[in-house]
Amino acid sequence: MECTPVMDLPEVRPGDDIAELVADRASLEPGDVLTVASTIVSKAEGRTADFADYPVSGRAREIAERLEAVTGEKKDPRFAQAILDESSEVLIEAPFLLTETRFGHICPNAGIDQSNVPDHDLLLLPKKPSESAERIRAGLEKRGLEDVAVIVTDTCGRPFRHGQRGVAIGWAGMSASRDWRGELDRDGHELGVTVQSVVDELASAANLVTGEGAGGTPAVVVRDWKFGDLEGSDELFRAVEDDLVRDALRNWRFDK
Amino acid sequence: MECTPVMDLPEVRPGDDIAELVADRASLEPGDVLTVASTIVSKAEGRTADFADYPVSGRAREIAERLEAVTGEKKDPRFAQAILDESSEVLIEAPFLLTETRFGHICPNAGIDQSNVPDHDLLLLPKKPSESAERIRAGLEKRGLEDVAVIVTDTCGRPFRHGQRGVAIGWAGMSASRDWRGELDRDGHELGVTVQSVVDELASAANLVTGEGAGGTPAVVVRDWKFGDLEGSDELFRAVEDDLVRDALRNWRFDK
Ligand SMILES: Nc1nc2c(ncn2[C@@H]2O[C@H](COP(=O)(O)OP(=O)(O)O)[C@@H](O)[C@H]2O)c(=O)[nH]1
Ligand SMILES: Nc1nc2c(ncn2[C@@H]2O[C@H](COP(=O)(O)OP(=O)(O)O)[C@@H](O)[C@H]2O)c(=O)[nH]1
Ligand SMILES: [Mn+2]
Ligand SMILES: [Mn+2]
Ligand SMILES: [Mn+2]
Ligand SMILES: [Mn+2]
């Protein structure tokens, strides 16, 4: 398996066609996976925003004041408002905001970035990242680049472990997971680990090459990796009744 | 970046020298990262166990009975006992066991596997996976293979997202994370995302090649990936006071 960054991508502007930008710079082959950082998908989709765009609800003010009290840092209630606008549920209010985005991804600050955003204050995540992936895939097909799976990635933290890692937030042309159910292990027993989240593993692999800085390499081609014959599943975000940690967080409040 | 499985590894037996098994089969170069699935590290270290090894405490019986009641499946209290023996804290008791292992990793069933374990019932995780990684690294050095970082991996699930992915549980010869603090983004602003957990991303990348089945490819060579000039950090497992989800789980109980 090989992960190669697409070199020389320009600064992405609203309306840019990511499939075209990539197709002009990378040789893609059938079976390749193309990962694209959400940051450029959002830029192409015009998902920038400014603090001035946001009114401030009582709820946003309450959240910002609590965050200020808890962290001792100045918090702009308009940022809290932007996060609320992008979210379907607030899971942690303090000492930072953890929410579920409208497309089902749980991450800090609804994934809104304040870095790598020229001329604007905020960069929101794509509205429907799997549709974004599908559009990029269709754009590649239109240019004769068939059978390329596309994954839209973001970088975010997680419980239990320090640090951030790449995750998939949208995908097209492949299943999210390999389902090993029914497969046998080396000793002929059925496997206990059943579902391998390959889109997340591919996003993590690509993120090693993409990096978080000024590198300018938001797209990565993964070659010589095969999904294989296993069954696929497209469930990536847990359903509420299946997510014990979400349940625990609903019944919890930060205490300091 | 390239991930290549080490081919033709044999069934690993207690006392086997993983550095030797790998060195005989792979050409390793300075700067490479070698990932090794915990399953073979555990086998080499004799970390197999049998149900018959475990007495059953009142606590283990209580846990198994509750799991049976909640899941409707037969649960062996000796399995619960094995998990307790490997754990420093139980975070979820039902509908499955989530614990902190003695080396600080939080995962279901203390990472005890029942697949790919010939002749025994259970395979425990290595006792101190970073020391295991260090020993493999030293074994490679002894054979003239200098400057190879080693990561011991496992596969486990996570909150919020379905499915399992590869994670690092031990590492040697590199830092766990790249610290981007102080680095600038494309527009000259300091970065918000500060710590990139590269050992976990490498473990995920390798797991795409390793797989979960009978493939027999538990070791992977990652080549042409560079940590770069960034500061490193070796904190991978969150400290208790930093782990809000652990706190939330301590105050929560599954209700069904
Ligand atoms: N070429 C190019 N690279 C960009 C652009 N915006 C961000 N990047 C790069 O994309 C990569 C990922 O950026 P990041 O902010 O971490 O994206 P995220 O993980 O999706 O939030 C970094 O290498 C950035 O330098 C852009 O408009 N053009
Ligand atoms: N060659 C070899 N492969 C093994 C052995 N044990 C497990 N594997 C392979 O190692 C890989 C990872 O196995 P898995 O049980 O998922 O390990 P874990 O992720 O560390 O729990 C699979 O490809 C297995 O087929 C062994 O003793 N020898
Ligand atoms: Mn982001
Ligand atoms: Mn990123
Ligand atoms: Mn395991
Ligand atoms: Mn595994």
ipTM computed for the complex: 0.97
Nearest by CB: A165 against B201, B248, B254:
B201
Q: Per-residue confidence at B187, pLDDT binned at 50, 70, 90?
A: confident
pLDDT at B116 over 90: no
Q: Per-residue confidence at A217, pLDDT binned at 50, 70, 90?
A: very high
pLDDT attached to residue B244: 96
The fold of the B2-250 domain, in CATH, is 60s Ribosomal Protein L30; Chain: A; (3.30.1330)
How confident is the model over B15-40, as a mean pLDDT? 98
Q: Is B202 on the interface with A (CB under 8 A)?
A: yes
Q: Can you tell me whether residue B65 is helix, strand or coil? A: helix
pLDDT attached to residue B255: 86
pLDDT attached to residue B161: 98
Distances A243 to A68, B37, B44 between C-alpha atoms, Å: 29, 27, 36
pLDDT attached to residue B65: 98
Containing B223, the helix (H) or strand (E) segment is: strand B219-223
For domain A1-47+126-256, the CATH architecture is 2-Layer Sandwich (3.30)
Q: Do residues A151 and A107 lie in contact, with contact meaning Cβ atoms separated by under 8 Å?
A: no
pLDDT attached to residue A187: 86
Nearest-neighbour CA in chain B from A44: distance (Å): 16
Place of tokens 């299946």: A242
Nearest-neighbour CA in chain A from B141: distance (Å): 25
pLDDT attached to residue B181: 87
CATH placement of domain A49-124:
3.90.1660.10
Residues with CB under 6 A from ligand 1: A 9, 11-12, 37-40, 43, 113, 115-116, 154-155, 210-218; B 186
Q: What is the pLDDT of residues A150-208, one digit of tens each?
A: 999 999 999 999 999 999 999 999 999 999 988 898 888 888 768 999 999 999 999 99
Delimit the domains of chain B by residue range: 2-250
Q: Is B87 on the interface with A (CB under 8 A)?
A: no
